[in-house]
């Protein structure tokens, strides 16, 4: 910044923008209304679920599992279909994806549903998803898109509302064609997002790295990362991964706020219905995420059944969550603060049956461990901050825990 | 440890409150119409609020908010499909702020008349003091493009100020 720049800044500071009193009154009134609303709720939207909030903050697993295969590894059928999109179509998907809002979660979060898919629908969805990618099974028509759901004359079939980034589903069981339309939409949305300048820059960096990987000498090697991931899984889940199929990828994009410049994603696969994902910062070796698919349930995305809130139960499970985390920590790092956080629905039940234990460590790192009440397991472990900064979500219930 | 106890909600409301004038200034620089600028700011606030949990880092809230604002302003322009004449500031009723320095007021009016690609960058760089990298994100441009546009915008500003007897 030179002398001229400094002078302009001085002038800019002195400059008064002519704004009407009505404008200030309007904004003040708007802010006053927002103060009384739960975050994420405007214009009649349903509140965000706790998982959605957590996934948005630390959606690394979701990015890995859904975004990367589409963006970075398009199969030939899908690639051909994506390339067939006209510029106009591509542009409309870019708009629908809200790709400029500086979040990394929209690849998954863009398609939230007005209701959960039934178990039967979910099974068909997964089956069709695979056929879409591997066999080129595509829908006959596109998923209908409306700006506002009120613009549509019917709610008899799935509709995507661009103003809320939400897919409205009819109450009846969805047909294969409708599920395929949704799968197609997700792929196109993700592809369109990947074509933005920012995404291209990340992907180019990724390609550049893959063409000429030259990590710093202190960076973790792939072998060390796999060994560390195996060790973590053994400590957390008591799983012996030695006989599992292993794969490792490096994701240049920074998945977790503030933690290094890229992560190794290590997958251990025990079968179609069972696989584990561990991500580790290449730069620091820090564990950033553990999640898994078990009995066909992808716990990174699976929302459980709401369950009665039982504080005693939460206190008792806290000890297990704490033990999981302390088992991973260096001896010189301790837990300095911990809470149990959850959200209740209108019936007072724990929403989606998930509670989260949030641990602040002496080094400023904050980890979240999600407990699934339905299946009595801890399928989500995320590093959510490295600077000791965690704002509890408004309207969530917080139980302080003994660190 | 400096742990933030403030909720996301209150951080958001405070960020908007502190920046409401700046938001209007930026929106106005793009839509060039008082009513539209006010609508755009309101819409942007609501949109940002409904996506608040998608923001990964509250330290980036201002930049994120301004990015949404730029996008909403451009959407408004597309919807309008025509750029109306710049409002005359003197027509604003109930003005609450008057420049105490003719040059600075003229400066803002002059900026509003520059090409879009320059005025957005000038406002974000000089008025809001965002870094080049943040501006690149807000405007969805490469840092190189921002730098080159800033270079040209700076030359335009210099010319204007010299014509108005600014002594650097």
- Which residue has better confidence, A56 or A3? A3
Answer yes or no: do B57 and A337 touch at CB < 8 A. no
Answer yes or no: do B24 and A9 touch at CB < 8 A. no
Mean pLDDT along residues A232-237:
88
Mutation target for A interface from B31, B47, B50: give the one with most A CBs within 10 A.
B50
Residues B76, B11 share a domain = yes
Residues B106, B68 share a domain = no
Q: Domain for residue B94, yes or no?
A: no
Per-residue pLDDT tens digits for A74-90 = 567 887 888 888 777 87
Q: How many domains is chain B built from?
A: 2
Residue A402: per-residue pLDDT: 81
Residues B109, B74 share a domain = no
Q: Domain for residue B76, yes or no?
A: yes
Residues B103, B62 share a domain = no
Q: Domain for residue B88, yes or no?
A: no
Q: Domain for residue B138, yes or no?
A: yes
- Which residue has better confidence, A390 or A185? A185
Answer yes or no: do B7 and A27 touch at CB < 8 A. no
- Tell me which chain B residues have a C-beta less than 8 angstroms from the C-beta of A100: 67-68, 71, 140
Range of the domain at B118: 99-168
Mutation target for A interface from B14, B18, B53: give the one with most A CBs within 10 A.
B53
Nearest 10 degrees: Cα torsion A384, A390, A391, A397: 80
Domain boundary among B24, B57, B83: B83
The reply to whether the predicted model has a pTM over 0.90 is no
Closest chain B C-alpha to A365 CA, distance in angstroms: 11
Interface of A with B in 262-321 (CB under 8 A): none
- Tell me which chain A residues have a C-beta less than 8 angstroms from the C-beta of B161: 8
Q: Domain for residue B126, yes or no?
A: yes
Domain boundary among B56, B83, B110: B83
Angle at A186 between CA A180 and CA A187, to 5 degrees: 90
Instruction: Name the residue in chain A with its Cα closest to that of B97.
Output: A18
Q: How confident is the model at residue A298 (pLDDT cuts 50, 70, 90)?
A: confident
Per-residue pLDDT tens digits for A91-106 = 777 776 654 333 333 3
Q: What is the DSSP letter of B59?
A: G
Residues B104, B42 share a domain = no
Residues B154, B77 share a domain = no
Q: Domain for residue B93, yes or no?
A: no
Mean pLDDT estimate for chain A: 75
Among candidates B4, B46, B47 on the partner chain, residue whose Cβ is nearest the Cβ of A389: B4
Where do the H-state alpha helices sit in A152-281? 176-194, 197-211, 222-237
d(C-alpha A282, C-alpha A226), whole Å: 11
Among candidates A11, A26, A391 on the partner chain, residue whose Cβ is nearest the Cβ of B8: A391
Instruction: Name the residue in chain A with its Cα closest to that of B134.
Output: A102
ipTM of the complex: 0.78
Per-residue pLDDT tens digits for A352-390 = 888 989 999 998 888 889 899 999 999 888 887 777 766
Answer yes or no: do A101 and B166 touch at CB < 8 A. no
User: Could you tell me how far CA B24 lies from the centroid of its own chain?
Assistant: 7
Among candidates B52, B103, B127 on the partner chain, residue whose Cβ is nearest the Cβ of A39: B52
Q: How confident is the model at residue B166 (pLDDT cuts 50, 70, 90)?
A: low
Residues B36, B11 share a domain = yes
Closest chain A C-alpha to B9 CA, distance in angstroms: 6
Q: How confident is the model at residue A178 (pLDDT cuts 50, 70, 90)?
A: very high
CATH code, B108: 1.10.10.10
Q: Domain for residue B90, yes or no?
A: no
Residues B63, B8 share a domain = yes
Answer yes or no: do A35 and B108 touch at CB < 8 A. no
Q: Which residue has the tokens 């409904």?
A: B50
Closest chain A C-alpha to B67 CA, distance in angstroms: 7
**Residue A296 region, left (φ>0) first, then alpha (ψ -120 to 50), else beta?**
left
* DSSP structure string for A122-163: HHHHHHHHHHHHHH----SSPPPEESSGGG-S--SS-EEETT
Residue A75: per-residue pLDDT: 66
Residues B112, B73 share a domain = no
Residue A70: per-residue pLDDT: 34
CATH code, B11: 1.10.1740.10
Q: How confident is the model at residue B41 (pLDDT cuts 50, 70, 90)?
A: very high
Q: Domain for residue B10, yes or no?
A: yes
Among candidates A14, A24, A56 on the partner chain, residue whose Cβ is nearest the Cβ of B100: A14
Residues B3, B78 share a domain = yes
Residues B132, B56 share a domain = no
- Which residue has better confidence, B88 or A43? B88
Answer yes or no: do A15 and B104 touch at CB < 8 A. yes
Residues B109, B59 share a domain = no
Domain boundary among B48, B83, B118: B83
Closest chain A C-alpha to B8 CA, distance in angstroms: 6
Instruction: Name the residue in chain A with its Cα closest to that of B136.
Output: A198
Residue A129 in this model has a pLDDT that exceeds 90: no
Among candidates A17, A22, A389 on the partner chain, residue whose Cβ is nearest the Cβ of B108: A17
Token pair recorded at residue B53: 């949990």
Q: Which residue has the tokens 């620089």?
A: B29
């Amino acid at each position: 910044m030179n002398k001229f720049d400094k002078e302009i800044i001085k002038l800019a500071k002195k400059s008064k923008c002519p704004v009407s009193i009505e404008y200030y009154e309007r904004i003040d009134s708007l802010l006053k209304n927002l103060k009384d609303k739960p975050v994420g709720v405007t214009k009649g939207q349903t509140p965000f679920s706790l998982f959605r909030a957590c996934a948005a903050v630390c959606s690394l697993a979701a990015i890995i599992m859904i975004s990367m295969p589409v963006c970075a590894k398009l199969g030939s059928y899908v690639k051909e279909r994506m390339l067939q999109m006209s510029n106009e179509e591509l542009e409309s998907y870019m708009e629908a994806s809200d790709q400029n809002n500086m979040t990394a979660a929209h690849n998954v979060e863009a398609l939230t549903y007005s209701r959960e898919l039934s178990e039967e629908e979910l099974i068909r969805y997964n089956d069709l998803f695979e056929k879409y990618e591997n066999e080129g099974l595509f829908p006959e028509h596109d998923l209908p898109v409306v700006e506002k759901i009120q613009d549509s004359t019917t709610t008899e079939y799935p509709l995507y509302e661009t103003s809320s980034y939400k897919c409205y589903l009819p109450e009846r069981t969805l047909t294969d064609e409708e599920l395929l339309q949704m799968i197609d939409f997700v792929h196109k949305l993700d592809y369109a997002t990947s074509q933005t300048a920012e995404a291209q820059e990340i992907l180019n960096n990724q390609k550049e790295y893959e063409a000429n990987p030259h990590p710093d000498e202190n960076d973790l090697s792939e072998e060390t990362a796999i060994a560390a991931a195996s060790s973590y899984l053994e400590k957390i889940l008591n799983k012996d991964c030695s006989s599992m199929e292993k794969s490792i990828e490096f994701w240049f994009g920074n998945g977790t706020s503030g933690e290094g410049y890229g992560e190794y994603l290590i997958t251990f696969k025990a079968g179609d219905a069972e696989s584990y994902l561990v991500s580790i910062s290449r730069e620091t070796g820090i564990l950033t995420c553990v999640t898994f698919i078990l009995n066909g349930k992808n716990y990174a995305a699976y929302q459980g059944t709401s369950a009665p809130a039982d504080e005693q139960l939460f206190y008792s499970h806290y000890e297990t969550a704490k033990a999981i985390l302390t088992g991973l920590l260096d001896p010189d790092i301790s837990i300095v603060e911990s809470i149990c956080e959850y959200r209740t629905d209108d019936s007072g039940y724990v929403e989606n049956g998930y509670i989260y234990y949030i641990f602040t460590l002496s080094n400023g790192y904050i980890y979240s461990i999600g407990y699934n009440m339905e299946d009595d397991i801890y399928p989500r472990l995320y590093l959510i901050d490295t600077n000791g900064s965690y704002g509890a979500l408004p309207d969530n219930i917080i139980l302080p825990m003994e660190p | 440890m400096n742990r933030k106890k403030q909720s996301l909600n209150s951080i958001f409301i405070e960020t908007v409150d502190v920046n409401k004038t700046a938001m209007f200034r930026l929106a106005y620089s793009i839509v060039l119409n008082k009513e539209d600028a006010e609508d755009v700011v309101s819409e942007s606030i609501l949109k940002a609020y409904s996506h608040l949990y998608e923001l990964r880092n509250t330290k980036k809230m201002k930049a994120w908010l301004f990015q949404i604002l730029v996008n909403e302003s451009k959407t408004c322009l597309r919807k309008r499909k025509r750029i109306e004449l710049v409002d005359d500031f003197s027509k604003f009723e109930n003005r609450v702020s008057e420049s105490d320095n003719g040059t600075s007021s003229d400066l803002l009016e002059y900026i509003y008349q520059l090409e879009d690609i320059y005025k957005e960058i000038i406002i974000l760089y000089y008025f809001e003091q965002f870094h080049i990298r943040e501006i690149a994100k807000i405007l969805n441009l490469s840092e190189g493009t921002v730098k080159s546009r800033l270079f040209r915008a700076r030359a335009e500003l210099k010319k204007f100020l010299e014509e108005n007897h600014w002594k650097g």
